[in-house]
Structure 1
Amino acid sequence: MARDLIQEGATGPEHVAIIMDGNGRWAQERGRPRLFGHHAGARRVREVVEACPDLGVKYLTIFAFSTENWKRTQTEVAGLMKLFRRYITREAKALLEAGVRVRFIGDRVRLDEKLVTLMDELELMTSHNDKCHLTVALNYGGRDELTRAAKRLAYEIECGRLTHNDVDAETLAGFLDTHVLPDPDLVIRTSGEARVSNFLLWQTAYSEYEFVETLWPDFTKDIFADVVKSFCARDRRFGAVKV
C-alpha cells in the first residue's frame, strides 16, 4: 500500500493542496489541442483522490479553474466548463461510494446555472461522507476570496453584529470559502513552474511547498506518495526555534 512508503511514526500531511499545472503543454507535446490535455488531467484526479486514504491524507484541495483563467480563448473556456459538468456527472456515484465528501470553493456568480446546480447536488449528495474531503477550487482566486470575505465582514459590522474590535485573524478566517477546512500542510505544483498563482494565499502562510517537474497528466499515485514521503522528513517549526 502507498502508506507503506512512509516511515512508521512519521507525520504526514493531513491536508494537501495541488496546483494542477501542465495539461496544455502535455497535449501540445503530443500534437493535440489543449483540451485533450485537460481531459487527461481530469482522469488523473481520480487516481490521486483514490490514493489519499492510504497516504493518510484526509483533505485534498485541487485548483481546477482560476479567476484569471477567463482570459483564455473562448473555445478553451467553453471546453473546460463542459468538462467540469461531465466530470461531476460521471464521477458523482464513484465519489459517493468511495466515501469522498466534495466541496467547491470560489465565486459561483459567473458560472453557468447548470454547472452550479450540479455542484450543489454533488455537495449535498456527499455531505455525509468522511473518508476523504475533496475541495475543488472553481473560479477561485486568493485575492478574490479575501475581497469577498472582507465585504461580508464589513456587512456584519454595518449591521451591528460585529464591531471593529471583534476583528482578528480568526474572525476573518471564518469568512473565507475554506472556513470549515484546516489549512494545507503541503502544496504541490506540477509542471516545473514555481509560482503560487493566487492560490489559497491566506491559508498557505505556513504550508510546505513542493514544485515537481512532472506535468499534471503524468502525475501518478507513486509520484504523489514520493512527495508525501519527502514532506515527512521536513522540520516544521512555524516560526519557533527548537531548544
Structure 2
Amino acid sequence: MSLGVLGTKLGMTTIFDPETGNAIPVTVVQAGPCLVTQIKTKETDGYSAVQLGYSELPDRKRTLNTKEPKEVNKYLSSPEYGHLSNKGLPALRHLKEYRLDDVSSFEIGQTIGADLFEEGALVDVGGKTIGRGFAGYQKRHNFKRGNMTHGSKNHRLPGSTGAGTTPGRVYPGKRMAGRYGNTNVKIRKLTIAKIDSERNLLLIKGAIPGKTGNLVSITPALIVGQK
C-alpha cells in the first residue's frame, strides 16, 4: 500500500500539449492540504497506517449537556472532536487511513499536498458516483423497450423475472429497478497531466467519479507485481 491524498473535484477543462498541440481533457482536483492526524503501528494497533484529515471546519462551539458540561465543535461528535483537539489539531471534516509498511517518516500535524505526486505519474482515483435516485430498467440496465405500435401494452415493462413453480422465486442479483448511482467507484491508472504545487491543484487526464464538489481519494496506481 502507498500514501494518498484526499481532495475535492473542482470540474473539468481542456489543456493543450505544447509539443503536439493536441487537446487534453482534464479534471481539476483540489488535492489537500491534508494533515496527519494519527500514526498507527503494529505494536499499538496491530497494523501500520497513517490517518489523514481534510477540509477544516469553522470554529463553532456547542455545549454538551452532561454532568461536566464541555464544549465541542458544532459539526463533529464529541469523540471526533476529542481525537483531534487532544493533538492540537483543528476540526476536520474528513478522516481516512492509508496503510503503509513504514510510518517512521511521518509525524502528527505534518502537511500532505499535491507535491506528493509527479507529472506523468499514474494514479487511482476513488469516490462516489452521481446519485440518480430510484431508476427503472431501461435507465439503470440499458434494457430495450417494447413495441410502441398501436395495441402494444409493453412499452417500459421488464418482462418475465424468472421461472414459475420451480424455483418459485427470483434469484438474487436479478437486474431490476432500484437505486442507481451513489456507489463507491475507483478509476484506475489515470495520468497526472499537470501539477500546481502552490495552489495544491492536480490536473488529471480524463474523468473521475462524482460531480463538482465531490470528495475523492487519490493514490499512486497499483502496478501488477507491486505490493
Specify the TM-score bucket, using the shorter chain as the normaliser.
Answer: under 0.3
TM-score scaled by structure 1? 0.22
TM-score scaled by structure 2? 0.23
Higher strand share: 2
